[in-house]
Each structure stands twice: as C-alpha cells, then as structure tokens.
Structure 1
Amino acid sequence: MNQNIDEMKSLEQLEGIEWPAPPPNATGLVNAAHELRKLPVGSLNAHELSRLIGQDIGVPWLLPIALDLLHRTAHDRSLGAFYDDDLLTAALTRETHVWRSNPSWVTKMKEIIAILDDISPYVQEDIQKFLKENGGQK
C-alpha cells in the first residue's frame, strides 16, 4: 500500500472532481474510465490501472500504486509467472514531465527495470526511451 495515498478513496474523491456522465455514444474505454474513477484506487487491478494511466487519468495517484505493484511482481517474472507488460508499458510511456516531477518514481522504475529479464522487444523500446529521457541505461 502506498503510504501517501488513501487507497480506500476513489479518484473522484482524491481529485475532488466528479466527472459528468459519459455521452450515450461513448466508447467502451470512456465508459470504463468513468466507472473506474468511482472505485477505491487500492482495489484497481493491473488491467484497470493500465487503462487509466495509459489515458493519463489520475496519474499522480495511480502511478505510485502501479509502481508498487510492478515492483512486487517483478521477481515473479523470472520464475515464469505472468507479468503485466501492459501496465509496465502504460507507466513507462508517460510524458517526461511526469517522471521529472517525482524523481523517486524514476528510481523505483529503474529498480523494476533492473529486475526484469527476457523483455519483449516492444517493451524494451519503451524501456530504452524511458532510460534515455530519465538518465541511465540498462
């Protein structure tokens, strides 16, 4: 659990902003984002986190949670367990200013990257770009 974030609160509560209902012809992603914003952030799974973070929704609250999840499960990948590359990609591909605003997030991501092996070439490209923009090579 992230110590600085009340994971029992929803994004709506953390941000203090309640989005209006999506339009009737909204896409599945838009509808999902609206619904996910109402759930406690600590209850979101890797897929839900990656959907929101990938759309730059709630990043200041969700990225630390995602990094904690990625770090906890990184060691499992070397044991052949499932590892959520979608969440890793969503986190890695946030704009540089997001990472520069919180150097501890960069440090945590570099720790995660150092643990991982046998990474897909697509994710490897994202890792190299992240490292180039945030100092350091794998």
Structure 2
Amino acid sequence: MDHLLHLDRTLDELDPPRWDPPSADATHLVRTVHALRRVRLGELGPADLRMLVAQRVALPHVLPLAVRLLLEEPLLDSCFYEGDLLLTVLGSPASAWLPLPDLSAQLRAAITTLPEAAVADLPRGAAEELARFTGRTEPLR
C-alpha cells in the first residue's frame, strides 16, 4: 500500500475530525501543530514532520513522510541536531508501526547501515534506541 498517495491533501482532510482553531491563549506549539494540520502533506518539511511525530499527530499519515526522508538521509538534521528526526520517529509507539510493516523494515535496514562514528556522535541513549528499534540486543556503536 502506498502511504504517499495523498500529498495534495491536509491532515485535517485525512485525519478527521477537523480540529477547531486553537484558543486565543494557546501555546506556540499548539498553534503551530494546528496550523500544520492545514498544510498539504507534500509541503511539510522535515522540521514540521519532526514536530507532528513528536506530538503524535496523525502518525499513519506522518510517519510514511518522515521515513521517506530518512531512507534518503537517515541522520537528517531537521531542526536541532543531526539525527533528530530519526530519534523522534523511533520514539513513536510500537502500535503506530503495526499498519506500516514495510516502512518499519526499510527503516530498520537503513539504521543498520549507519557508520559507527555517526552513531557515536548522536546524543546519549541514541545507540540504545537504535538497537531497540532494529531488534538488536547490543547498542549500535
């Protein structure tokens, strides 16, 4: 199943119900996430995807977009540091991956090809998170 068929549609269209506008006293994060739900999927950038995944918004639609970027560049720096999108995606609940077994397998394969030096440069705990996702008993080094 191609999870990228709806790049011309928004999360408000694909993930009902449409969200009401945020309240006047909403935080910047809440206002931003609400606004991102009205952006066409094909126009979402890496930082947008990182934010939506981190907030666990419409993961069946957002994870495939993030994985597509990660397959091209696993340690993509979306906003804060090299690998931030990858580590955010790996923090998604296991249930989010159940309808996406092919994408999960592709991402696991990409992770296992990461150079040791690149993994060593990631934040503390990243190697363990990578190992958990790939099903290894030892952290990637």
Fold equivalence (TM over 0.5): yes
Gaps of 5+ in 2: none
Task: State the partner residue of 1:107.
Answer: 105
Alpha-carbon offset, residue 128 of structure 1: 2.2
Contact 1:73 1:83 in 2 (8 A): no
Runs of 4+ in 1 over 4 A off after TM superposition: none
Alpha-carbon offset, residue 3 of structure 1: 5.6
* Higher helix residue share: 1
Q: Distance in 1 between matches of 2:26 and 2:84?
A: 23
Go from structure 1 to structure 2 and tell me whether the alpha carbon gap of 1:122 and 1:46 turns closer, same or farther (over 3 Å shift): farther
Tell me the secondary structure at the aligned position of residue 57 of structure 2: coil
TM-score, length basis structure 2: 0.80
Counterpart selection for 1:91 from 78, 89, 92? 89
Q: Deviations over 1:4-62 (max 9, x none)?
A: 43111110111232101111111111000000000001111111100001111010011
Task: State the partner residue of 1:124.
Answer: 127
Q: Work out the percentage of aligned pairs sharing the same amino acid.
A: 26
Task: State the partner residue of 1:55.
Answer: 55
Gaps of 5+ in 1: none
CA RMSD, 1 decimal: 2.0
Task: State the partner residue of 1:22.
Answer: 22
Give the length in aligned residue pairs: 128
Go from structure 1 to structure 2 and tell me whether the alpha carbon gap of 1:136 and 1:100 turns closer, same or farther (over 3 Å shift): farther
Alpha-carbon offset, residue 105 of structure 1: 2.3
Contact 2:111 2:130 in 1 (8 A): yes
Tell me the secondary structure at the aligned position of residue 20 of structure 1: coil
Task: State the partner residue of 2:36.
Answer: 36
Structure possessing the higher relative contact order (Cα contacts under 8 Å, 6 or more residues apart): 1
Q: Distance in 2 between matches of 1:24 and 1:125?
A: 41
Query: Match of 2:125, as an amino acid?
Result: Y
TM-score, length basis structure 1: 0.81
